Amino acid sequence: MTDSIKRLEKEYRKFVSEGIELNMERGWPCREQLDLSMPMLDLVTSDTDLCLENDYRGYAGTAGIAPLKKLFAEVLQVTEEQIYIGGTMSTTIMYDLINKAVLFGFDGFLPWKDFPGKVKFLCPSPGYEKHFNICKTFGIEMIQIPMNDSGPDMDLVENLVKNDDSIKGIWCVPLYSNPTGIIYSDETVCRLARMQSKAADFRIMWDNAYCVHHLTDEEYRIINIIDECAKCGHPNRVFEFTSTSKITFPGGGVGVCASSVDNIKWLTRTSLLQLKSGDKINQLRHAKFFPTVQSLRDHMKKHRDIIKPKFDLVDLVLHEQLDGWDVAEWINPKGGYFINLKLLNGMARDVWQKCKDAGLSITPAGSTFPYGEDREDAYLRLAPTYPSMEELEQAMQLLCIAIKISYTEKH
Amino acid sequence: MTDSIKRLEKEYRKFVSEGIELNMERGWPCREQLDLSMPMLDLVTSDTDLCLENDYRGYAGTAGIAPLKKLFAEVLQVTEEQIYIGGTMSTTIMYDLINKAVLFGFDGFLPWKDFPGKVKFLCPSPGYEKHFNICKTFGIEMIQIPMNDSGPDMDLVENLVKNDDSIKGIWCVPLYSNPTGIIYSDETVCRLARMQSKAADFRIMWDNAYCVHHLTDEEYRIINIIDECAKCGHPNRVFEFTSTSKITFPGGGVGVCASSVDNIKWLTRTSLLQLKSGDKINQLRHAKFFPTVQSLRDHMKKHRDIIKPKFDLVDLVLHEQLDGWDVAEWINPKGGYFINLKLLNGMARDVWQKCKDAGLSITPAGSTFPYGEDREDAYLRLAPTYPSMEELEQAMQLLCIAIKISYTEKH
């Protein structure tokens, strides 16, 4: 055992003995971010006129209030008739859509539960574990699709979708992808819209969660896949999602779905019994807080001011500690919530465990893959927003020590 | 044609020519009722400390915030561990529970979709159309059960449930029943708790929607069916529901489910992906508005002051216009939202149509029965809360004219 590994192990034991508790497991906004939206809570009071449209206090109005539909229509570049605002979270809408497809089928199609054989979904990986958990919940078989710098491997996607009518959809986080941070290229978007699918009810679940969550001055924008699908003769192929969970308050925000007019009519009609209307008063709070897209953009800059230094700190410590070791690859993303760390094969689980044993929670190794199966055992998802800068510095030092020890033990 | 019928028809034509638009179709609170809860909107502002428990602004906390669970635990006479607070409406939770039972099965049981043969539900009728629509949505066969003054016909219920394992549940509105206004007797509740069911996963859907919606000084209270079921060895048999839809704001309120600790754990666990947490900030608004059960009770008295005169007006006009005609029966209920008018057989559809033609919307005849099938064609549900006293007076006069004309034409 060299002096170097002895020193690393001493540092590691120091962390263990200190009994720290650090958490960079979830993409949760930190307190300072949540504080940004506190003024929103003053925008609806007992003096506010709520007798607008129907009456925002009453039962009427299933798909959302007009001013908020207008805002999101502008953000997502669709018409107001193409917007459905449901409950508080976009995951609720995604879950519900898959539930409806399984049990009742999409508008005019066979319920997936009655499809002869197993229904399958394409899962670009690493990806978002909640998407995969929805598939798991409904017994939908997941097919891993490798991700590259411009999105999923489109040759593979096209080939699979063209030839197999049991493949009913694909999950995508097209902008600042969770967790890789990559941005889908125009070509990828167009190929997804244009490709032939053997299943007539093939659906793209387009989770545009980070559509306004930029970390640089360049406000990247994906081309409008809803329009592209319509142009290519597949108007109902895509459901797009976003929410205010990481804009205002998680849990106390609004979930949004955009699609073709027909799909939104179908979604509204089939949701009426389940959720007569979302919380229109809270929708108005949001509409008043963001009277224009520019005001939303300004608000997101304040988020960026808080979290960009955290991303830079992660990037800095990784470079300082790991440059020259040839043990890890990552990019400092231009938006979103995560940094995806690709270690040498066979290291992720071990590093995750070493961190856990010393009091640092990271998203479990494998989580970003269908069935938790990272065959290379190489990927760790880092979520830098929630901890303070001090905690993050400490967490990153610990992580790098764990990586070095793991590497040294194995090589 | 007698002079009398000519006079009635003249009055009816007068209504038609006036082009009125009256609505007593839905059990919606009126504006004055909604105004009662406006002060609630001032109870959470940018100065409010929301960093309670976890952080009410964040993702954590699936089953609801502690102070609101405490309130509803006291209202429903259960422990806080027996409460789940979900989204904004109790219908959402009911729909979701049936959805889960069909697709996944209740905790440890076969999914109903895999049950050999059709799954059935008992539907005391007349009853609440949304319950029946949930059954219809999920393809659950509905069996009509006659209602009497103390609840559903329990001899029939016991007999069916004991011998048929395809009967998986029953819908009940035990207090101020929708629409009959009756109150389940202690004996009915105990028999429901005690009875043997052939289906081990038989469930009582106990919609206690009007648990605090009294219209008289006597605050009726149903005995605690959750406790009764536990005593009788069926701890997981019942899911109880209530909401603030008709306490604060429909759509902007909170939906509540109470059950055994095991059922609530199961519901919480299986809801985590779908709805990470409800809107805890809005839950706090409610908890601050109702710091005690007494404050809730006081608030409901204000509702009563607004709507009790409407119920009395309906009762008065019906008596004034129809006494001596032997054409209709009704009770002026002691709580809830509806007056159930039982006409002579074969009249309901005709009266409903005559009202509609003259500009008065009433809940469609048949709606309060499974499949919309009121075999006697006798029942109309009157919802007096939404219109103003003036509109209600006019609506009731028109209704009574329509009833008299219909009666005269037929007899």
Could you say which of A44, A95, A251 has the minimum Cβ distance to residue B274? Answer: A95
Residues whose CB falls within 8 Å of the CB of residue B281, separated by 6 or more in sequence, listed in order: A41, A249, A251, A252, B44, B50, B56, B57
Q: Quick one: average pLDDT of B114-140?
A: 97
* Contact yes or no for A282 and B277 at CB 8 A: no
E-state strands within B95-140: 120-125
Whether the CB-CB separation of A257 and A239 falls below 8 Å is answered with: yes
Q: Are A59 and B244 in contact (CB under 8 A)?
A: no
Chain B hits for A99, Cβ within 8 Å: 99, 103
- pLDDT value at residue A62: 85
Check CB contact of B44 with chain A, cutoff 8 Å.
yes
C-alpha distances in angstroms, B227 versus A24, B268, B339? Answer: 43, 21, 31
Nearest residue in chain B measured CA to CA from A59: B250
Q: Report A:95-134 residues touching B (Cβ under 8 A).
A: 95-96, 99, 102-103, 113, 130, 133-134
Q: What is the mean pLDDT of residues B34-43?
A: 98
Q: Which domains does chain A have, with CATH numbers?
A: 3-27+296-410 (3.90.1150.10), 48-291 (3.40.640.10)
CA distance linking residue A355 with residue A330, whole number of Å: 19
Interface test with A, best of B37, B43, B59 (most A CBs within 10 A): B59
CB contact under 8 A, B46 and A41: yes
For an interface test with A, the pick among B41, B130, B138, B269 (most A C-beta atoms closer than 10 Å) comes out as B41
Interface test with B, best of A102, A274, A337, A386 (most B CBs within 10 A): A274
Chain segment B134-158, per-residue pLDDT in tens: 999 999 999 999 999 999 999 999 9
ipTM: 0.96
What is the pLDDT, as a whole number, of residue A251? 85
pLDDT of residue A60: 87
- Tens of pLDDT along B217-269? 999 999 999 999 999 999 999 999 999 999 999 989 999 999 999 999 999 99
Tell me, yes or no, if B31 comes closer than 8 A to chain A by beta carbon.
yes
- Chain A stretch 210-229, residues whose beta carbon is closer than 8 A to a beta carbon of chain B: none
Check pLDDT > 80 for residue B1. Answer: no
Size of interface A-B (CB pairs under 8 A): 150
Q: Per residue of chain A (411 residues), what is the pLDDT tens digit?
A: 466 889 999 999 999 999 889 999 999 999 999 999 999 999 999 999 999 998 999 998 889 999 999 999 999 999 999 999 999 999 999 999 999 999 999 999 999 999 999 999 999 999 999 999 999 999 999 999 999 999 999 999 999 999 999 999 999 999 999 999 999 999 999 999 999 999 999 999 999 999 999 999 999 999 999 999 999 999 999 999 999 999 999 989 999 999 999 999 999 999 999 998 999 999 999 999 999 999 999 999 999 999 999 999 999 999 999 999 999 999 999 999 999 999 999 999 999 999 999 999 999 999 999 999 999 999 999 999 999 999 999 999 999 999 999 999 988
Instruction: Extract long-range pairs of B156-162: CB within 8 Å, 24+ residues apart.
Output: B157/B122, B157/B191, B157/B192, B157/B195, B158/B191, B158/B195, B158/B196, B160/B122, B161/B122, B161/B195, B161/B196, B161/B197, B161/B198, B161/B199, B161/B202, B162/B195, B162/B196, B162/B197, B162/B198
Residues A101/A203, Cβ–Cβ less than 8 Å:
yes
Rounded CA separation A140/A373 (Å)? 16
Rounded to a whole number of angstroms, the distance between the first and last alpha carbons of chain A is 12
By the CB < 8 Å criterion, does B331 face chain A?
Answer: no
Tokens of B376: 């006697």
- A30, A269, A279, A280: best mutation site toward chain B, by most B Cβ within 10 Å? A279
The rounded distance, in Å, linking the Cα atoms of B107 and B119 is 17
Token output for B333: 């209920």
Query: In this model, does residue B22 exceed pLDDT 50?
Result: yes
pLDDT of residue A1: 47
What is the tens place of the pLDDT at every residue in B263-291? 999 999 999 999 989 999 999 999 999 99
* A241 vs B: CB within 8 A: no
Stretch B397-404: mean pLDDT, rounded? 97
A133, A134, A251: residue with CB nearest B278:
A251
Taking each helix axis as running N to C, give the angle between helix B389-410 and helix B348-357, from 0 to 180 degrees, rounded to the nearest 10: 130
Cross-chain residue pair A134–B273, CB shorter than 8 Å: yes
Contact: A51, B31; criterion CB under 8 Å: yes
Rounded to whole angstroms, the Cα distance separating B404 from B411 reads 10
- Which residues of chain B lie closer than 8 angstroms to A45, CB-CB? 41-42, 45
